[in-house]
Each structure stands twice: as structure tokens, then as C-alpha cells.
Amino acid sequence: VCFLDAPVTGAPARAAAGTLTVMAGGDEARLVEVRPVLGTFAELVVHMGAVGNGQIAKAMNNCLYNVGCAAMAEMLPLAKRAGLPLDAFSEVVSTGTGQSFAFNQWAPHVLRREFEAPKFGYPMGEAFKDLETLGAVADELGVELPPVVTAARGTYRRALEMGLQDEHKGAMVKVWERELGVLCDGASPEGGR
């Protein structure tokens, strides 16, 4: 009997298409044996080393995504406060060097005020586990979480404290909307520069 940890990444659309990415931890020879089974739902299977490393890789991958979500949640309200038209700003970001999967996924929903989970995304309260997992890994390694991850976790926690746990990650924007006194609804800004 052997054990592999093999979490996936890729979101529901890629799951439906059978094109997920698997991050597998465990014996590499055993991974080769089960690769055909994993290939039924994944287009890429990557060996991450020892058992448990697949889950660590998933937590780190998701934390990078969470950092992108938190950055989107900060930038849209700031852009609105600065007087930028958010539809135009979103178009620039989603086609420029500031783009990220998180921004491209959530900004359109934010501007349409679509925060319902799971219809538009995974509930924030259930997804917070990845940031907690990474915190536990950092503790085990005897290191501090990187400052950017710590800041993203802070925004995430503030959103949860506001009662947004049943909404998707794009709802983190509400933290900074409240802070800056704006609403990121895609309407033309008043004032600004």
C-alpha cells in the first residue's frame, strides 16, 4: 500500500474540461504507476517530492492567488477614489503588465456587484484554510510569513470579520470600499483628478 497526496488546481472550468494540474507528493515510482488515472482529469501532473509536499505546493499556489485577490480588492477602490473610470481601468489592467488570474476573474464580478458564492466563486470562509495552512508551514519551518502574504491575510480576515464568509474572494473589495468611502460598481466616478 502506498500513499500519494495529489491536490489539484485549475478551477471548475478546467475540472470540467479535464485539464487540471496535479501537485503530487510521494514516491515517484508510484506516481508513474497512477499517472494514467490522474490523466483522466489532469493535463499536467507534477511530482513535488515527499508525501505532504503536494498540499504545501497547493497552499502556496493558492496564497499567490489570494495575494492577487487582495491586490485587486485594494486597487479598484483606490482607482475609483482617484477618479478613474473602473471599466477602463479594468481593461488596462487585464491587458497590461498588472494583470493576474485573480484580477481577470474577479474584477468583472465586482463591477457587476456579483458576490454570490458558489454561483460566482468558492466561499471565502471555506477558502481561508490555504492561508492558515501556509501559516502552519511557516511556523513549522521557524520562519515568518512573507509580508505580502501577511498583508493579504489581513485583508482576508477583515472581510471575514465583516461577515463576508459566504461570498467569493472578490468580495474582499468591500473592505477597501468601506475604508475609502467608494463603491466599485463600474459607474463613472465623480470628482477625482
Task: Determine the pLDDT at residue 104.
Answer: 95
Task: Determine the pLDDT at residue 1.
Answer: 81
Contacts of residue 73, Cβ cutoff 8 Å, sequence gap at least 6: 155, 159, 170, 172, 173, 174, 175, 176
Taking the CB of residue 29, how many other CB atoms lie within 10 A of it?
A: 8
Average pLDDT over residues 99-116: 96
Instruction: Name residue, grid cell 478551477.
Output: 11
Q: What is the pLDDT of residues 17-62, one digit of tens each?
A: 999 999 999 999 999 999 999 999 999 999 999 999 999 999 999 9
Average pLDDT over residues 85-104: 96
Is pLDDT at 189 greater than 60 in this prediction?
no
Is pLDDT at 12 greater than 90 in this prediction?
no
Task: Determine the pLDDT at residue 154.
Answer: 95
113: left (phi over 0), alpha (psi -120 to 50) or beta: left
Q: What are residue 21's phi and psi, to 5 degrees? A: -110, 135
Q: Classify 143 as helix, strand or coil.
A: coil
Task: Determine the pLDDT at residue 188.
Answer: 60
Helical segments of 82-128, H only: 86-95, 101-111, 124-127
119: left (phi over 0), alpha (psi -120 to 50) or beta: alpha
Average pLDDT over residues 74-100: 97
Task: Determine the pLDDT at residue 11.
Answer: 83
Is pLDDT at 181 greater than 80 in this prediction?
yes
Q: In what order do the strands lie in the sheet with 20-24?
A: 8-9, 20-24, 42-47
Task: Determine the pLDDT at residue 129.
Answer: 87
Task: Determine the pLDDT at residue 119.
Answer: 85
Q: Classify 45 as helix, strand or coil.
A: strand
Looking at every residue in the chain, the average pLDDT score rounds to 93
**Could you say which DSSP state residue 86 is in?**
H
| pLDDT band, residue 127 (cuts 50/70/90) | confident
Is pLDDT at 190 greater than 70 in this prediction?
no
